Structure 1
């Protein structure tokens, strides 16, 4: 995962959110009683360049791209971007195509057969496509945003989840 790294000391006060290995949905639900998921977009599209190789996709291979906001009431906390290769949707991940506003995390962490790969992190600048996708949901401008990325596998089929943390998640 090009330019994605292991945890560093520079990520405070984001560190607790970024390094949490359990369900982000569960963590957000425990801290924000009015937690909800709002699906923004779900369509077959080209993944970002740095998502292609880790998922074993061809350069122009489309995948199911799902974008959601994890919110507290109407306040956006996290912009989440998931890439599910088409082959996975014919296999063990086929139920994920119909999630709607349901939490992907709740589905992933409910199945003990799902394997999670190590988390990777980076700050995304205003030029990065993840920043550009998350920017409309910022309540105030930010020079960069912290993001984390992980792959999940079921029966050898991998998908990738990237979560971009918005400043509102660390402000009560």
Structure 2
């Protein structure tokens, strides 16, 4: 996906002073499943761009408070009525997939949100926000959420493809 973060990650207070568009704020502050939100208004489709072991960005390791290692990197596009609405990148460390929640290693074409919001094992611990520049040069917004499952971390970054 061709979207590059153009500012530092912001906390919720900083976001409110940086962004006034209520529609985008509603998406960024959604506490429920983005998959469910899209499905409630449109025909949902998920496209898996990649789902492989690999090396994440240094700041992704820092955000998870783990050492650099091969991790599962899953990138998907979420569509509503065949319109791309969200690019998501999940970082799932090996210990999280093996000891935290074994199903994370084999999600396949299922939305990760289905697991995160249907199991009490996942706890949201931190959320931050940033602005991105899309390939089209549009400025768009995204968020990164850190979860723990049985004490093991994972992160989900969602970039909302709404100009």
TM interval, short-chain normalised: 0.7 to 0.9
Match of 1:89 in 2: 97
Check if 1:48 corresponds to 2:53.
no
> How does 1:6-155 map onto structure 2 within 5 Å?
6-7=11-12, 8-9=15-16, 10-11=18-19, 12=21, 13-32=23-42, 34-59=43-68, 61-125=69-133, 135=135, 141-155=136-150
Provide runs of 4+ in structure 1 moved above 3 Å.
none
Match of 1:128 in 2: none
Match of 1:3 in 2: 8
**Counterpart contact for 1:19–1:119, Cα < 8 Å:** no
Structure 2: runs of 5 or more not aligned: 1-6
**Counterpart contact for 2:100–2:151, Cα < 8 Å:** no
Match of 2:157 in 1: 162
Secondary structure of 1:4's aligned partner: coil
Change in Cα spacing, 1:51 to 1:80, as seen in structure 2 (3 Å) is same
Structure 1: runs of 5 or more not aligned: 126-130, 136-140
**Counterpart contact for 2:24–2:162, Cα < 8 Å:** no
